[in-house]
Structure 1
Amino acid sequence: MKKLLFVALLPFLSLHLHAAVLFSQPHDLSGGFIQSSWWEPNGSDFDQYVWDSFASGTDRAVTEITWRGGFDPNKSGSGGPVIDFALKIFASTAGGTIPDIVAGALVEYSTGGNANQTLAGVFAGVTNYNYRFTLPTSFQAAAGVKYWVQITAAQHGIPDWGVAVGVGADGKHVILTPGTHQYLPAANDFAFALVAPGAGHTITTSASPGNSGATSGDDTFASNAVATVVAVPNAGYSFVNWTENGTPVSTAAAYSFTVTSNRTLVANFTSTCTIQVSATTGGTASGSGTYSIGTNVTVRATPNAGYGFVNWTQGGVEVSTATNYTFIASSNRTLVANFVRVWTITTQASPPEGGMTSGDGIYRQGSNFTIVATANPGYAFVNWTISGTPISTNASFTTTAIGNRTFVANFSPLPYTITVSALPANGGTVSGGGTFPSGTSVTLTATTNAGFAFVNWTENGTPVSTSASFSFPATADRTLVANFTPLYTITASALPANGGTVSGGGTFPSGTSVTLTATTNAGFAFVNWTENGTPVSSSVSFSFAAAADRTLVANFTSLYTITASALPANGGTVSGGGTFTSGTMVTLTATTNAGFAFVDWTENGTPVSSSASFSFPATADRTLVANFTPLYTITTSALPPNGGTVSGGGTFTSGTSVTLTAATNAGFAFVNWTENGTPVSTSASFSIPATADRTLVANFTPLYTIAVSALPANG
């Protein structure tokens, strides 16, 4: 049994009148073939194991099948007349990936001959034929259902199907391995088209220019069928695009689209030329190929190790010195990339810190090159050597490339003078200066005199170190100054000594920021800082720059507690008490509550002020009492009201002697004073101490005149 592959191709056949292509897979116009299903007419051999799938977008009746094929001239036993074709259509298995062979074919036809075989043309030297078969009874294809077609040829020798562009149902077909039950997918589609009755749309193709290539895919297609047109360039041309009415519609040589109207498509081709590149010994060249006239071409030259690129030549004439040579394709060209042996030249400095070298590179055999040595500060150039052998005493040296070589530039150090001084001269002493070979480590030392401090080392006024011992390599003449600054003593003390503590004093270089801090002891308050009795700051933390010796005193003052209270506590409120610095004026204030009157301020029971607001200087701890006394209301009235008048009532402090007076009106006589109806006095002027609220009534009684006479008068 033979291994069979199956690739779909589009036949280029005219359809019957009032019929249109429902499904197609077009020929790619190549000379390639894929082996098909086959049986030997005499029954001596057979291979019937190749299927390809199709599906319709609508419910349609299939009335005709067309296909393209031929005989592969490279196979033995090819050829022979076609006796018959067997056409079968199968359903899919549940997964849709293989035909349902078990259920058998849905329909089966026999062409009874060679299926209207006609010559399709010669492609790449291989003859192809078109086949068309009208189904005796139509096959009803349901929309969206995947079916499988098998076309088996009965002929002597094995027939083949031409290669399709692979844009059909799914881009592959299925084969069944002979003697097994293993179905395998294979690349590409089988060449066939399905025709349905009814009017369709005409697709027409042409090539531009006319001799530039071939096109296929012209046909009448059913609405919404997928059509594929194919463009194949002739020798010396390449495909550009498909256009419709001058408008580009696709750059794919195999252009597939859904048919909705008549279309006239032009396959545009452009002429090409061949570019061939080669390389001489020492490298490789790339970029050979076929290019469209007018396009940019880039050829690339890559040298091998130990070689360098020289140029591109054409017919021995130089055309470019660029390794990547770009030009516009206009004709066939044969280009040669030329290479030459090159040598690596390396330079280095000894010692490395002695200087710099240049001129390293890769040079062609026999070319001249120049190497240059530049001494660093503190060094002088001596000579160039190779492997220790002197070559030249010229810092700039030109020679010829004859091999890989390493040149060493030799340098020697120069002596340098280090000068040191002290500023001011009485600030300290310096040591360590002198003359030193280049690169020698130099250590300068600054020693401070009494009353001075070391600041830094400077060079031309620029600080270079804050360390009194300063080390550096000798690389140039240098003049260094050790800077000193005076030291100042800042003395701080507390007054009185038990008033608090002070900190921050000491010895400081000139200009240093000094901060003195005064910390108050219990029972004292900070007053200020003074210098020679003159206040200089009222801040406990006092900062200044050290510019001279200074003696500063932190002054403290005693604190006194003034305690104030009210007696009785509900008699009123007091304010103004607290802690005060000595001599501070203190003002105590007594505020009387309702029903009370302020009496005085007392200290240890002794009156000190009768003023509710009492001021005095804080000179000691003091405890003061604001004394209050209750107020009583004495209310008086006359009974009857017209009997007389009363006076003397009012509000009085406790214990005050109150005198009430009753004045009798004409026609009345005073009787007594009563309180709650109880007689308390028969005196019109009545005195009592205020010890409580009281209501007193002055009682009056009317006076009546009784006139008597004797009747008779002398009786």
Structure 2
Amino acid sequence: MLKYNCWDYYSGSQGTLVSRCLNMGSGTYGVGFKMYRDNYSFYSSDKYDKVEVFVNTLPDTTGATKLGTINRYTDYEPIVSEQGWYDYAFEIPTTFVENLSYIILVATSDYGTNIYVDEFVVGKTSTVTLVVNPGEAGILTGGGSHIVGTGVNLKATANSGYKFINWTNEANEVVSTAETYNYVVGDSNVTFTANFEQLTTVTFTIVDAENDPIEGATVTVKQEETVVDTAVSNSVGEAVVYADNGNYTYSVTALGYFPKNDVLFTINGDTAINVQLDELPPALEITPDTFSFEPTQFATSSAPQIFILQNIGGGTVTINPSDITITGEDADQFILINIEDTVSLGAEEMDGFAVVFTPDTIGEKTAIIQVNDNLENIHEIVINGSAVDFTITEFPYTESFDGEKFPPLGWLSLGEKPWERVTSGSNPTCDPFGAGMLKYNCWSYSTGNQGTLVSRRLDMGSGTYGVGFKMYRDNTNSYSGKKDKVEVFVNTLPDTIDATKLGTINRYTDYEPIVSEQGWYDYVFEIPATFVESPSYIILVATSDYGTNIFVDEFVVGQVRAVTLAANPSEGGSVAGGGSYLEGTEATLTATPNAGYVLTSWTDAANEVVSKKQTFNYLVGDSDVTFTANFELGYTVTFTVVDAESNPIEGTSIVINEDTLITNASGVAIIDLANGNYDYTVSKSGYAEMADSLVVSNAPQTVTLSLIATGMDELTAGSVRLYPNPVESSLIIERNNSDEATIQLYNASGILIGTIKADHTTTTTINVGALSSGSYFVRIIGTDNTPTVCRFIKK
């Protein structure tokens, strides 16, 4: 089928598709195709993605004649009732039939959902004329000009008081008894008549005990278990149904009245039936009828709980504000948000009040809501709540959002469009650092919607504190450029009223704080001393601009520690990564040598070496620290590794100065080192390991290493076990079978230094006490003549 990619193409983008040249000659012709109309998402509506149909004597739209337009959205012309495939046909003017012509489909994007088209056809047309009999009996659809050979659904819909009988042709022959007749268009014009029959009228008059009409009563007429018709009474209490003569039952229901159910009656011509309903007595229902508040931090408030007042009977229930009270020993721990004025509730009508849990001490709190319904009833609703102290006093305090409960214990989630917890992310795609993370659904929430997440109460006391978290910054598609953001506040109350803003992070990478690429980033904000010294809350407010989603993870509050960096000497290189960090987080410290220098070490304030690598990941502790990157003049050491025939050996590992070098295809590996003595080891599978040292003294140097092939591959684990390893005197060789075997002992250079036989035993002991320290190989040849080799170290 055809697709026009409105999902990716900006508003105003167009695509033009031109048919083959058409030589129709003469006659009545049309062009038709199927098009998918949709309304499945927000992007389907209010977007004028469309297909325009043209005909022209040239293969472009210059001077073309438009035949019609079809919008993709179901609620735009031509309007359809539901999404799906629909057939469309357009008559081709005679001028173009008689000349060589082209059909042109022009798709225009409004940046909505995609357009799909299929089953394109050009052919002669015939006219299908539809007639309704009698004229007022129904509505017909499907008539008009249609392409020969295509199928068309002719549909007859009966008006109230009529029923459909059949479709007949011009010869008065019945062609279908179904309301929808699928006609395959022939090569001549045709006329079909939809025949209807008038039904018998049954008029119900619904009144109350005083014979006053009841409006809105529902009448249901059934024949056995089949519903024949339903109707709702008007302002004078009348409800009209239509049915054939016969035996039926009726049921009548109305709000505030006792129903009449399954009353037998007979229709024999137009019928009038009077129904009198008795009014129900008024009755008040309150929901919920009991309620337990979520555990709530003392000295704060819970979210309001709404209680619904409803008259489930008839008549009127009258409630005054003074009729609703909270009683009990803990009544003062709850606040009533009462109705403002007297309410009068008719049948099924509702109103409501709310209660907030506001504990000022820790413990279980219980009270009773009493509602006088003024019908000689006092309704009692038991409410309770647990007042707890969620205050955090030990830091750093972290919340990873890995637990399934959300919001986490002691946190508050506020707003009609709140934050949520997810285990994976989409739009953009990302993963949490643990089992879960925060998400704000900007993808679905329209511009301006906000969600507020309030932390547990924080009692920091004194010192320098900060709040930090990770946030995913993205630029995946055109929707990423929206100004979706997270604002960070601190307050002594668990809301943003008079709160202090600590900072703002936009989700889009090109908005502040600007980053070079999408991904997770760490953000830290210092908490002012006023809030450190008083119990406070951190508040994250997400605001949607209808772009891609916001993701946040690894929330932490802790003391801020200073990481100070220095370069020694200053001309030796530069350092990066110093600054203020939250205790317990990781700081990435980088030392970059200037030309001619090398990093020799990182040292702490006590001049102890903490790392020799240029990038040093420091886990921030409970005090301020200073690290010095020490640089010295560097000299290039070039290792060249070859075999016995002086062929270069690629992939050799050389470990020196806490660094691992790998030789290239030329057998070469290079490192810059300061003056000093350096031990190194050299290893490559299939060659004897070696160890040596070198001295750097104010000059570059080249070290050529010749490795000796062992002639053996190392053993894959499983069939032989050597222990202890390293060994001082007795080496035990344990095999997984007791077959005869030859055990050979080789030194690191691959020279055979001993052979023993193992006869029908799984365990063999070799005395290696006389061997020099170093690496050795054991080669075992079993009955299948397949050698296995493993290495051991002699102490």
Taking structure 2 as the reference length, the TM-score comes to 0.25
Q: Which has the higher strand share?
A: 1
Taking structure 1 as the reference length, the TM-score comes to 0.27
Q: Using CA pairs under 8 Å that are at least 6 residues apart, name the structure with larger relative contact order, 1 or 2.
A: 1
